[in-house]
Amino acid sequence: MDKYEEIKRQKIRQVLREFKQGRLKSSSGQIVRDQRQALAIAISEAERLVNRMKKNKQRRNKR
Kindly report, residue by residue over 4-62, the tens digit of the pLDDT: 999 999 999 999 999 999 999 999 999 999 999 999 999 999 999 999 999 998 888 88
pTM above 0.85, yes or no: yes
In Å, how far from its chain's centre is CA 9? 8
pLDDT of residue 58: 87
Q: What is the C-alpha separation between 19 and 9, in angstroms, rounded?
A: 15
* Per-residue model confidence (pLDDT) at position 62: 81
* Residue 63 predicted with pLDDT over 80: no
